Structure 1
């Protein structure tokens, strides 16, 4: 059975292009369209789609307001479609705070051009997010019947020293997950944290600023050549690769341009591999929600250097791809619900 999609966009041309793209995938179908936020709320509650694609700027009611109302009246997975601008990034992050589950950047004002290059990725993400809604319903039904669940493996305390660091990798669902994790970390956390979140270049600066304004921990977009200091979380700049190097006894952040074919940007693998070389056994790597397997080879390098790898559990992951790949490879020492990750990181330093 195909997953039903509700398309929300004020451009008739964009709706048409998106409809054609969705209908080209036999596992998706379009159950309706809306030209503004008010229409979107009505159709979301009437048609009960499996997932909604939502534009940000629309007449009558904008996408952010519509997200809030839909999540209040008839909660549904929502993917924001936003422009690759700083203003688009800020609006998208507001929509994620309002309850949207994911975002997909429009690379152009031309509908076919904006959707063409990453069309396959977009429809894959729509399917996975729609499937998550059904999986959650099954889990809720099983819980109501009292079905047994497998308890996650717990994290050990004091696994890294004060000269080490924490590295985190995330993708789909990561912005909200990172906020949940980092808000548990105090300003005096004794080691630096470096984060590779798959994001476009224009998004990571506003994302870091938004996190920084909402928690005690200092959160910044990482700068090339900057020393990594305790009590700070560094977001790797979008569209780049971020690495950690040991220079004269100090951990330093370094960025580089991706090569052709390196599609995960920033790469969790590259961050983890460099951390393993720089800090050896004093590295804790945490793999959060995300599609694909980025982070698995990096986790392998960390374990080979006697470092430590934890992963988010399936039940709390938006997309159980990256954590699943690391767990399947036998590289995880602990598998944790999202709500426990921050507190576990706090206890991880000796």
Structure 2
């Protein structure tokens, strides 16, 4: 059965363009469209789509306001379209806060080399979200009132944590592999976390629980455009106890500090483990992801050897698997997020299927497990 999609945008041209791309995939069916958030809310009730693509800036009711209402009344996976600007980054983070699951740049040329690649990416993102079962309903909330400018003001806060269920398949071993929060006794010099789709929510869920006196530095690799990572790091820093910043070339790794890899670049680690520094280099054309979890994990293996606790969270694809293998060979400990709590069980599944992860952990237990294992619990 095809995945039913509702396309929401105030531009008829963009609605038509998105619909044409999606319907070229036989597994996707555009069942309707809407040109503002108010229409979208009504169409969701009527059509019950499996996935919604949503613009942010729209008349009558903006996209963020619509997401809030939909997630309160008829929870549905939502993919936002955003501009690659600082304001667009903040708005996208607000949309994720409201309950959206993923986002893509509205200008397709910003995410792909050609039209075919852009179309394939959009289709795959929608398909991944559509494979989820019905999401758990949130407490009903009154519909937000848009401001005069059309956008509902949003106060930055932790992104809403969600653990929607998925079709049970490869997760049959999750219950067995989730271990109690008991310290292994291993010593660490670094915690490294890699993620993609669903990562902003997952990272905030974890980092907001980490204490300021956490004994190791933490490096974060999140697939995200260059214009987004600065805003995301600022938001994390404003709501977390530990310090969070967008990584800069030459940063010395310090305990109680989390460093977010900048979008469009690769983040390496160099020097000795006792005085390691970050090296930020051009993303290059040979690697699909910028930043890339594999690249950073591999650099960590060279500098820190087995003294690393690496965690692979929700995301599409298999980025992180090869880097985790190099870390594992050095004696590092590898964990993966469990399938049930992932937005997309791709990256963690790749690590688990390769026999690299020691445990598959629910998102709401990750922070506690990291704190205990790192010796601060």
TM-score band, normalised by shorter chain: over 0.9
Q: Which residue number corresponds to residue 368 of structure 2?
A: 343
Change (3 A) 1:3 1:46: same
Cα distance, 1:107 vs structure 2 = 2.8
Equivalent in the alignment of 1:42: 42
Mapping of 1:100-111 within 5 angstroms? Answer: 100-107=100-107
The question of whether the paired residues in 2 share the 8 Å contact of 1:54 and 1:81 is answered with: yes
- Listed as ranges, the matches of 1:154-303 within 5 Å are 154=179, 156-158=182-184, 160-161=186-187, 164-247=189-272, 249-303=274-328
Structure 2 Cα separation of the partners of residues 209 and 202 of structure 1: 12
Separation in 1, partners of 2:193, 2:273: 24
CA distance in 1, matches of 2:114, 2:75: 28
SS at 2:297 equivalent? helix
1:293–1:325 Cα contact (<8 Å) kept: yes
Counterpart-to-counterpart distance in 1, 2:367 and 2:40: 35
Q: Would the aligned equivalents of 1:244 and 1:254 in 2 still touch at CA under 8 Å?
A: yes
Say which SS state the counterpart of residue 215 (structure 2) adopts.
coil
Work out whether residues 152 and 337 of structure 1, in 8 Å CA contact, stay in contact via their aligned partners in 2. no
User: Unmatched 5+ residue regions in structure 1?
Assistant: none
Q: Distance in 1 between matches of 2:202 and 2:84?
A: 22
CA contact (8 A) 1:204 1:235 kept: yes
Secondary structure of residue in 1 paired with 2:340: coil
Root mean square deviation of aligned Cα: 2.5
Mapped partners of 1:21, 1:211: distance in 2? 35
8 Å CA contact 1:169, 1:288 repeated in 2? yes
1:45 aligned counterpart, secondary structure: helix
- On the 8 A contact 1:106/1:114 being kept in 2, the answer is no
Q: How many pairs were matched up?
A: 344
What TM-score results when the alignment is normalised by the length of structure 1? 0.92
In 2: Cα distance, 1:214 partner to 1:319 partner: 25
TM-score, normalising length from structure 2?
0.86
Please report how far the alpha carbon of residue 287 of structure 1 lies from its aligned counterpart in structure 2 after TM superposition.
0.2
Distance in 2, matches of 1:259 and 1:148, equals 38
Q: Which residue of structure 1 aligns with residue 10 of structure 2? A: 10
Alpha-carbon distance between aligned partners in 2 of 1:200 and 1:140, rounded to the nearest angstrom: 27
Residue 249 of structure 1 aligns to a residue whose secondary structure is: helix
Tell me the alpha carbon deviations over residues 288-328 of structure 1, each in whole angstroms, 9 at most, x when there is no partner: 00000000010000011111100000010110000000001
- The Cα of 1:153 is off from its aligned counterpart by 2.9
Relative distance call for 1:44 and 1:13 in structure 2 (3 A) is same
Q: How far, CA to CA, are the matches of 1:3 and 1:37 in structure 2?
A: 21
CA offset at residue 348 of structure 1? 1.7
CA distance in 1, matches of 2:176, 2:91: 38
Which residue of the partner structure matches residue 63 of structure 2? 63
Shift of 1:148: 11
